[in-house]
Amino acid sequence: MAKILITGGAGFIGSSLAIQLIKQGHNVAIVDDLSTGKKDYVPREASFYKLSILSKKLDKVFQKEQPEFVYHLAAQIDVRVSVSNPDLDNSINVLGGLRILENCYKYKVKKIIFTSSGGAIYGDASEIPTSETYLPAPVSPYGINKLAFEKYLRYYFEIFGQKYISLRFANVYGPRQFKGGEAGVVAIFCHQAVNGQPLTLNGDGSQTRDFVYIDDIVKALIVGMDKDYVGELNIGSRREVSILDVVNSLKKAVGKDLVIELRPAAIGEQQRSFLDVSLVEKVLGWRSEIDLEEGIKRTFDWSKDNI
């Protein structure tokens, strides 16, 4: 049993991780300011601190909890917000991350597991699928700041010996991802389908992504804590799909045709994003198991009960 601190633990990914860690017998504490997370998502077995990662009170949480491992998930997660307000994105995703990192070193945390972004960091990559050796070229402040914090992680490891692993996620989806908080395209589409609304499609739907179901993501996070590996790893599904493929999978889950409302393409949106996961399969022995059709069906079924 380990003592584990999760920042952003009231969110979609963080709460799903917390539940699984508690099932495994670990002692879990959560820090979340509830700006996008939900208090209802916090497991009752976890200690909870309603706190921004920019707060000076963070030191007292580390002092009290003395975590052995820290999962750093708290972030400004909306690419569009980062474009309109890069200062905000930088303050949370870089300066807030540094507060976490400084406390990890100060309180002798064994390892920090960081949730990064494969698609946002690589930008419009010419190498598809994109490997970890590809030169990052982020096209949004969100991607820039995720990459910047990875560089700080490397610095703290090289200079101070602070161990870390950075998991560069593809597009994560599944139950608990809700519209208005941490919604990705699958969550938005499911919400619209459940409520009988048209699916709002930015662009023509030909843009491609790499969708990974939440259960697979949680497994990767837990293996990332257990394995003695330092560096960056892509976490993807081994399948490149278009947004129209997502629409068609949702149609199957719903059991009827769906109305599509076309909108202009979003500013700064990538046309293709697909990650090479051969390295993570080799060093962590991890690979995704839930395919898109099954994952969307599970997500839609959850959405029907959580309108």
pLDDT digits (tens, 9 = 90+) for 260-278: 999 998 766 788 999 999 9
Q: Which two tokens stand for residue 197?
A: 């609304």
Looking at the structure, do residues 90 and 30 belong to the same domain, yes or no? yes
In contact, 138 and 94? CB cutoff 8 Å: no
Domain presence at residue 282 = no
Q: CB-based burial of residue 228 (10 Å sphere; 0-12 exposed, 13-18 middle, 19+ buried)? A: exposed
- Return the pLDDT at 78: 86
Which pTM does this prediction carry?
A: 0.95
- Is the pLDDT reported for residue 203 higher than 70? yes
Over residues 299-303, the mean pLDDT reads 95
In contact, 298 and 252? CB cutoff 8 Å: no
Nearest to 252 by CA among 297, 203, 304, 204: 297
Q: Is 122 a catalytic residue?
A: no
| Between 290 and 80, residue with greater pLDDT | 290
Lowest mean pLDDT among 18-32, 112-126, 175-189, 259-273: 175-189
Looking at the structure, do residues 26 and 165 belong to the same domain, yes or no? yes
- Is the pLDDT reported for residue 182 higher than 70? no
Looking at the structure, do residues 21 and 92 belong to the same domain, yes or no? yes
Looking at the structure, do residues 167 and 202 belong to the same domain, yes or no? no
- Is the pLDDT reported for residue 285 higher than 70? yes
Domain presence at residue 283 = no
Domain presence at residue 270 = yes
Domain that holds residue 220: 3-171+212-235
Looking at the structure, do residues 222 and 123 belong to the same domain, yes or no? yes
Q: Which two tokens stand for residue 85?
A: 């307000």
Which residue in 142, 156, 164, 173 is the catalytic one? 142
| Position 306 confidence tier, pLDDT thresholds 50, 70, 90 | confident
- Return the pLDDT at 183: 62
In contact, 152 and 172? CB cutoff 8 Å: no
pLDDT digits (tens, 9 = 90+) for 29-80: 999 999 989 999 999 999 999 999 999 999 999 999 999 999 999 999 888 8
Peptide bond into 264 cis (omega under 30): no
The CATH number of residue 52's host domain is 3.40.50.720
User: In whole angstroms, what is the distance from residue 55 CA to residue 287 CA?
Assistant: 36
| Position 178 confidence tier, pLDDT thresholds 50, 70, 90 | confident
- Return the pLDDT at 136: 95
User: In whole angstroms, what is the distance from residue 259 CA to residue 279 CA?
Assistant: 40
Looking at the structure, do residues 194 and 224 belong to the same domain, yes or no? no
Q: What domain count does the chain have? A: 2
- Return the pLDDT at 266: 75
Distance linking the first and last C-alpha atoms of the chain: 36
User: In whole angstroms, what is the distance from residue 233 CA to residue 116 CA?
Assistant: 9
User: In whole angstroms, what is the distance from residue 211 CA to residue 219 CA?
Assistant: 15
Looking at the structure, do residues 91 and 231 belong to the same domain, yes or no? yes
SS3 category, 240: coil
Looking at the structure, do residues 12 and 111 belong to the same domain, yes or no? yes
Domain presence at residue 279 = no
Domain presence at residue 281 = no
- Is the pLDDT reported for residue 23 higher than 70? yes
pLDDT digits (tens, 9 = 90+) for 127-138: 999 999 999 999
Looking at the structure, do residues 226 and 260 belong to the same domain, yes or no? no
Domain presence at residue 285 = no
Looking at the structure, do residues 154 and 244 belong to the same domain, yes or no? no
- Four-residue CA torsion sign, 244, 76, 132, 288: negative
The CATH number of residue 250's host domain is 3.90.25.10
- Return the pLDDT at 184: 86
Q: Residue 202 — φ and ψ, nearest 5°?
A: -80, 125
Mean pLDDT of all residues in the chain? 95
- Return the pLDDT at 268: 65
- Return the pLDDT at 269: 74
The percent of residues in the chain predicted with pLDDT above 90, rounded, is 90
Domain presence at residue 46 = yes
Over residues 87-98, the mean pLDDT reads 97
Domain presence at residue 8 = yes
Looking at the structure, do residues 167 and 260 belong to the same domain, yes or no? no
Over residues 238-261, the mean pLDDT reads 96
- Is the pLDDT reported for residue 179 higher than 70? no
Three-class HEC string of 45-83: CCEEEECCCCCCCHHHHHHHHCCCEEEECCCCCCHHHHH
Looking at the structure, do residues 55 and 178 belong to the same domain, yes or no? no
pLDDT digits (tens, 9 = 90+) for 215-231: 999 999 999 999 999 99
User: In whole angstroms, what is the distance from residue 223 CA to residue 227 CA?
Assistant: 6
